[in-house]
Amino acid sequence: MEVSRLFEHHDITIYAKLDLLQLAGSTKERTANGLIEELLGSGQLHAGGMIIESTSGNLGIALARQCVVRGIKFIAVVDENANPLALELMKAYGATVDRVVTPAAGNKLAARRQRVQELLAKHAGAVTTNQYGSLANPRAHFSTTMPEIVAGSGGNLDYLFVATSTTGTLLGCQQYIRAQGLDTKVVAVDAIGSVLFGGESGIRRLPGLGAGILPELASAAEPDMVFQIPEIEMVRGCRLLARREGILAGASTGAIVAAMGQLVPTLDAGARIAFVVHDTGVPYLQTVYNDEWVRSTLNEEPELERNTEPSDRSEK
Ligand SMILES: Cc1ncc(COP(=O)(O)O)c(C=O)c1O
């Protein structure tokens, strides 16, 4: 979908890839499908089997949904950061939710991964999809996400913006761009407090993007540009997208909007951009879109007023 109201630069074309319309509500629908098909195809998993996976939300929802239609049991290992609504969704699909309590000085991702190993030892024949290291993760985006973006936009894109967590989406898109010899620069959008592209691990309250320890896949990620975005800018980016384009997205997409807001003013006329709307904003209504939460948790003003009116809408 072309978006034209987000920024004031009318001579730049911007396309939004609406992965919030995936059945599970996020890009992870593609990842989950790729990971499960790989396990079924290699004979490691069969109908009636069990999947155990560490997930901060969206992969869990997508796996839970896809396990239903394949007759597979699913245990989601989550941490305190997990969105309560995401957990309700997983349970609604019949998944078991196993919540890890992270030790005070501990790393949440590491604690979840250790718990996955414990559960695998307990359930004979169970498998993990390993979204952090499986090449089926980027392959899903190589074979669907990027080809769809190219087809939907007409191609010829100067920049592609993706948010990063396992880096699977970025890697798959990057591999497709290289394989096709496209001239599209890949922009990685990460959270401050994530270690994916250097920097110290820090407090991150909003799920969806960033990592506290490096996933195996990340070593192959070679973005042309990296933006590390503070959480308040994710909030403002989400609200801008909702108020100007009528797209209610989650925090990682808000981060992308913030990053685009920095790059767009520097681009030449005629530039063509695409970005991924990674998930629906509905599970973020009590956080990103809640003024009280923003004030009490991020100690910042959401600045809604500034975001409601593009300054020169009348010129369009
Ligand atoms: C909300 C959200 N943000 C970002 C991403 C990108 O994550 P990854 O790097 O693991 O592909 C996803 C992937 O589905 C997502 O659901």
Give the lowest-confidence range in 133-147, 196-210, 300-314.
300-314
Domain ranges of the chain: 2-23+138-308, 28-122
Query: What atom of ligand 1 comes closest to residue 30's alpha carbon?
Result: 14
- Does the pLDDT value for residue 305 go beyond 80? no
CA of 252 relative to ligand 1 center, distance in Å: 8
pLDDT band for position 304 (cuts 50, 70, 90): low
* CATH fold match for the domains 2-23+138-308 and 28-122: yes
20-44: pLDDT as tens digits: 999 999 999 999 999 999 999 999 9
Structure tokens at 187: 């922009």
Identify the residues whose C-beta falls under 6 Å from ligand 1.
26-28, 31, 58, 163-170, 208-209, 250, 252, 278-279
Q: Is the pTM of this model over 0.85?
A: yes
**3-state helix/strand/coil string of 130-190:** CCCCCCHHHHHHHHHHHHHHHHHHCCCCCEEEEECCCCHHHHHHHHHHHHCCCCCEEEEEE
Q: What is the CATH topology of the domain spanning 28-122?
A: Rossmann fold (3.40.50)
Please give the CATH number for the structural domain made up of 2-23+138-308: 3.40.50.1100
Nearest-10 Cα torsion for 269, 272, 277, 281: 20
CA of 312 relative to ligand 1 center, distance in Å: 33
- Residue pair 80/99 in contact (Cβ under 8 Å)? The answer is yes
Alpha-carbon gap, residue 315 to 4, rounded angstroms: 12
Selected residue with higher pLDDT from 126 and 316 = 126
273-300: pLDDT as tens digits: 999 999 999 999 999 999 999 999 999 9
